[in-house]
Structure 1
Amino acid sequence: MPYEFPVDHHALLEERTGQFLSFGLPPKDLDELRGSIDSMWADAPGGWTFEWSRLAAKYAAAGDHLLSAMVYGIAKFPVLANGSRRQALQNQVAQYIAAAPEFGVEFERRILALPYRGGDVRVPVHLLSGGRPYAGAPVLLFSGGVDGWKMDMHPLAVAFARDAGLTVLAFDQPGTGESPVPLDEFADEVIDGLIATARTLGNGRVAHLGVSFGGNFAVRSALTGAVDAAVNIGAPVRAAFERANLDRLLYGMSDILGNAFGFDAPPTNERTIEAARVFDRGELLQRHGNAPMLVINGADDVHVPLADTLVFEGRPNIEVHVIPDAGHCAVTKLPELIPLMTAWLTRQTD
């Protein structure tokens, strides 16, 4: 079961302000919430989930279902460690579906049965398309990381469906959101199943875009040649999993990872290091013949060492962009980077 952990909610809110504003949250509402919240975990007035959910319900009552969904997404942040956060996720799904007619693209929610550990597992996904039949378009696998999930990435998903002519298959990476499996040594099986599904869903061309930890899976997809193209936004790849980096993680990230790994209590550093080692893609970096990849991250990332971005410089068919004056995943600059990513994906999937 997920677990709660000590975290400074003031510092966490400050660190994520840019991300939350990118969801469309009015700054005045954020300022009001900043003064209302006095606990990260209490399910009562002043509690993080309680206050954010109250704001989301206000937006829902006013008919702004998409903003309500985005704010329920903040209410569940950063992990589903208690009943109120799990309820916030259910509310987010309901509001997101209610908002779908206003997306400006076609939307479908599906439950996929994917091969997993000798059986199968049911994985909820969202399909967004610009109106072309799925069979006539390339498919883009798309996920966020350990604390920003498929619905939280909505503006990016819509942009790629609308502007790149792709069918976007959005999913929660293992260990997060609606994914039923943990982030462990079997997680790659889920990605392989999604790639296979995408091959048959669309015209046979498949790309994979991952944000933050989701980019780790996109890197694997590109380095193994499992997809035709990949976009890695701020992925931990190798240096991020070294002890020195794991020991210095900020804003509760160590325990956010611990929840994703499937731990039921704060892990020791040794357990975290052991669990993270599975996702060190250093061995794959020794291979040749990778699929084309676009790599983006902020120059001032506090979670992922710059080395994990620069390691791709000089490799064939890989384009690297380090964005100045930007933090983890260059999240505050992503709206400006959408045209770059859209144009690149269009070239690679034509």
Structure 2
Amino acid sequence: MSEYDDVCVLLPTMNEAETVARVVEDFRDAGFENVLVIDGGSTDETRSIAREAGARVAEQSGRGKGQAVREAVRDHVDASYVLMADADATYDAADADAMLDPLLAGETDHVIGDRFADMRPGAMTRLNRIGNRLINLAFRAIHREDYGDILSGYRAFTRESFERLHLTADGFGIETEMAVECVKNRVSVAVVPITYRERPGGSATNLHPIRDGGVIFLELYRKAKTNNPLFYFGSAGVASTAAGAAMGAFVLYRYLAFGISHEVIAVGAVGAVILGIQLLVFGVLADMIHSLHREQIERYERAVDAGTPGRPSETGGHDAGEDRGSEGRGPDSTPHEEAGEADD
């Protein structure tokens, strides 16, 4: 019996023939017998090479990393713990112990590997590094949690906690969505320093920085609707109000300087300001409702943890019934004696 018998190593792949064997063998050498490769329709020899290296291989029914992860956990993983990594050999199997320790100790339900703790030269381009920093800053500002490196593909989590997350992203936005859903569902998260290496020569990345970065920013903003409504509606309100104020200033300047009136722009300016103020007010109200909802959920969870639901003694229902049934009885009286007293 290995200490990792209840752990499944999950490797989403797409044309990773150059590196997948090395990654599978590294994890198997580290003591992980259950290695699952979920392939997104590779056109190279990724699947056959992964099988030869000792991995279970499944071909996903759809496309994209997010869909692959959801399908793998739902249909192909029976273990209680999942260790997810990329198959491009940028992550180190030697970090698996540190990733799993908080889970196996019961300290947390989700672990994120922080690539910035030990990022090797050439592992990330300057553009990607700047983009990652901006996305992490945006995440902290919008969702008010600091997970260090929300775009890290090195994750460890319990299958039970994964099933609590409402995940819909199909592509590389899956990591961002998982981080946001952990905040939303109050899943405990630990951040562990890991090593991040340069991709081996000959392997090509499936990441498109500009396109995928834009998708991730949109995902962050979209998820703010239910997790931070004040930011979601307030930012749109501020933008609309600022646009209206700018148009109004232009109309006023043209009228005072040249005597030219711009009625249509003026009407648009007033409309934009009114819309912006309404959005700000709506954001404040939505944030209040969201806060009250979270308070109610927390109270309910505390009640469940304390075992109060159904406890009769605190509500007085069951105890009160017993008191009423025993009222007037002496400590030594019996039901038969009472019945006899009633007959008399």
What TM-score results when the alignment is normalised by the length of structure 2? 0.25
> Could you say which structure has the larger radius of gyration?
2
What TM-score results when the alignment is normalised by the length of structure 1? 0.24
